[in-house]
Structure 1
Amino acid sequence: MNGAMKISKTTSENPDFVNLIAALDKSLWERYPELKTNYWGNNILELNPNVVIIYLEDKAVACGCFKKYDKNAIEIKRMFVSPEARGMGLAQNILRELELWAHDLGYSFSVLETLHKQKEAIALYEKAGYSIVENYEPYVGLENSICMRKQI
């Protein structure tokens, strides 16, 4: 995949986003079958106006979104890159777009949660300037969760 890349700002109603999230959920449940009941409620796809999708050669291959966490912070959600598009820096592009968008909307911080086995994701977020923090709600007490924060 060396074709043209397009970054699109959209909403969670975008069918390409819905399809990418279905692939994300499938991969998470395959990797963490024991956690499905604990985390399912945190992965409900609510209407979200802050979605970024990357297209390569007109095919949706990566996505992410954010939602308001509090008056100063957003929470990064649903970061995913299709297996065939990994290793191309697309997750960094998605994260940067989301942070810039949130900053433009007046937010100062970004928080996120990932799971302890997501070593690639943790490394990506640390490289992007995120630091591990105490778990925030609704992840307090969930030992598989890694929560992170960054000033944007």
Structure 2
Amino acid sequence: MEQALEFGKADATSQIGRVLIAEIDAYLKDLYPDSIGLCYRASPEEINTNGIFFLATLDGNAVGCGALKRTKFDEIELKRFYLRPEARGKGLAKKMLAILEAEALAMGFETIFLETGPPQIEAVALYEGAGYERCGPFGGYPDNPLSIFMEKRLVDELSQSNGSAA
């Protein structure tokens, strides 16, 4: 029986929002133990102030989250995208990513950006498979060998899915 994924807007400062964000931080600390100062985190408060937080539940249990955050240059950035290990490998990340992209487009953004890193092999594969392309630093980030910057033109994808020319 297929499990029911729900992915909707939530408060990043809620107890479960803070728990999931703490799990992301612990995961990143394991991946980047000597470079934790170079991880570009957004606090729950920062997300609520400058963006939108989404909570993923599977049959009523919190399994992940994601956020859209405005940069200081009024771009939209994917942040805090995370699935608990037990929820991975089920296609949920693709569904969550598509919902966040649709939300960014509905907010009036033509392009969505993200920053990840070389140790996050699965994340890079997910993003590339979803049509993200590598780009240079955005949003005021410094160029850094531990960063992979990516972007996706949402308007191009929308016009392709509608069968019209861009």
Asked if these proteins are the same fold (TM beyond 0.5), I'd say yes
Deviation per residue, 1:105-152 (Å, 9 max, x gap): 111110000011111111100111100011235432311100001111
Aligned to 2:22: 22
Aligned to 1:37: 37
Q: Map residues 2-151 of structure 1 onto 2, 5 A cutoff.
A: 2-39=2-39, 42-45=40-43, 46-48=46-48, 49-69=51-71, 70-71=73-74, 73-151=75-153
Q: Distance in 2 between matches of 1:47 and 1:143?
A: 25
Q: CA deviation at 1:13?
A: 2.1
Deviation per residue, 1:1-27 (Å, 9 max, x gap): 953322221231232221111111111
Q: Distance in 1 between matches of 2:14 and 2:95?
A: 19
Gaps of 5+ in 2: 155-166
Q: SS where residue 35 of structure 2 aligns?
A: helix
Give the residue type in structure 2 aligned to 1:52.
F
Q: Distance in 2 between matches of 1:18 and 1:2?
A: 28
Between the aligned residues of both structures, percent identity stands at 36
Q: Distance in 1 between matches of 2:38 and 2:144?
A: 9
Give the residue type in structure 2 aligned to 1:43.
R
Contact 1:109 1:150 in 2 (8 A): yes
Moved over 2 A (4+): 1-5, 135-141
Q: Distance in 2 between matches of 1:112 and 1:44?
A: 13
Aligned to 2:158: none
Q: Distance in 1 between matches of 2:122 and 2:47?
A: 28
Give the residue type in structure 2 aligned to 1:51.
F
Q: Whose radius of gyration is greater, 1 or 2?
A: 2
* Alignment coverage as a number of residue pairs: 149
Contact 2:42 2:79 in 1 (8 A): no
Gaps of 5+ in 1: none
Deviation per residue, 1:74-105 (Å, 9 max, x gap): 10001100001100111111111111111111
Contact 1:115 1:146 in 2 (8 A): yes
RMSD: 1.8
